[in-house]
Structure 1
């Protein structure tokens, strides 16, 4: 089970994720909705220089304009782009042509059955989908779970990897994985204590995720 820790805002955050055995770390940049742990592309690039091999740096952003997205990736030196807001599917190949090495993850917000159609819309264009929760103010980092039954339907029908996010924490991640059977899981606020990424919670989350299914 792949594990990504999002909202990496400092070297201490990053080391905490690395010590827990993460597969990816997310850097939140270019926000247009409420968010926490936001960094600049330059700050992300500085941290990425300290990232060990085989851990993926992910640019997580609310930006929608194709050129803005390309610029963000170049400036931050991330190798995966996670697009949180709505974009035209036709814009994704433009980004891919400009950055052939880049993996592109498209967020689908599970607010109801309509998420199944939204996932199918982006499936031909993205390398993976991430199923998240949203509110009027936030399009990620809400700390609120969504309907895992809908998420499980998306996973079962998807031809590309699907990552589960939204309200995950050490106490529920194993149940979520067993219910949804995703390719990986993503957490931000669920491993924080007093506003900071907590080493004990981070390690417990990773262990819970990897112990949820046989062979993980």
Structure 2
């Protein structure tokens, strides 16, 4: 069954809603964005997440040292890396890595540690889908997440098209810039149906 990651959680009620709805992964964004949380916030929110739900830290072009600091401090079960990660080919992290790729014209998977891929829109967090036809007849050696513009209305189609390991949503379960418990519930329900 396809797994669900609810990303960009920044308040206790959002975390509780995502957990109660049946999310498999919770994403805390540490990169600069309107959904960014501090290390201290993430530590507090992580206490609301049961062990069966994995905590994922989302970073843009981080250093190896920063990743390991946050992995231990929150603690995180996985990290999701956007942008460059110069240490990726020479150092192994202590948790699994989700490597985010923007689907544009040509999709290149970078070398180095990558336990999962995350296929996202050209502008991450924009709420826009990428051109789904660009992935027709593509195969990947790693399990992958589909992200970018997913909502309860289109997630079933994305699952039928791609058969992903997991789907990842942020803006698609928001109302007025905040996570919406009913939208989260409906999204998870559609994925698990």
Q: Is the 8 A contact 2:16 2:48 kept in 1?
A: no
The runs of 5 or more residues in structure 1 that have no matched partner are: 212-216
Shift of the 158–128 alpha-carbon distance from structure 1 to 2, 3 Å rule, reads: same
SS at match of 2:91: helix
Distance 1:95 1:28 in 2: 21
Q: Is the 8 A contact 1:128 1:161 kept in 2?
A: yes
CA apart distance, 1:158: 1.3
Distance 2:70 2:89 in 1: 14
The runs of 5 or more residues in structure 2 that have no matched partner are: none
Q: Which residue of 2 aligns with 1:196?
A: 178
1:158-186 deviations in whole A, cap 9, x for unaligned? 12101000000111100111111111100
Q: Which residue of 1 aligns with 2:57?
A: 59
Which of 40, 43, 67 pairs up with 1:42?
40
Taking structure 2 as the reference length, the TM-score comes to 0.92
CA apart distance, 1:93: 5.0
Q: How do 1:139-150 residues align onto structure 2 when only pairs under 5 Å count?
A: 140-150=124-134
CA apart distance, 1:38: 0.9
Q: Aligned residues, how many? A: 192
CA apart distance, 1:104: 0.7
Between Structure 1 and Structure 2, which shows a larger proportion of helix residues? Answer: 1
SS at match of 2:186: helix
Shift of the 28–170 alpha-carbon distance from structure 1 to 2, 3 Å rule, reads: same
Distance 2:90 2:17 in 1: 34
Taking structure 1 as the reference length, the TM-score comes to 0.83
Distance 2:44 2:180 in 1: 22
Q: Which residue of 2 aligns with 1:214?
A: none
Over 6 Å off, 4+ runs: none
Aligned CA-pair RMSD? 1.6
Q: Which residue of 1 aligns with 2:18?
A: 17
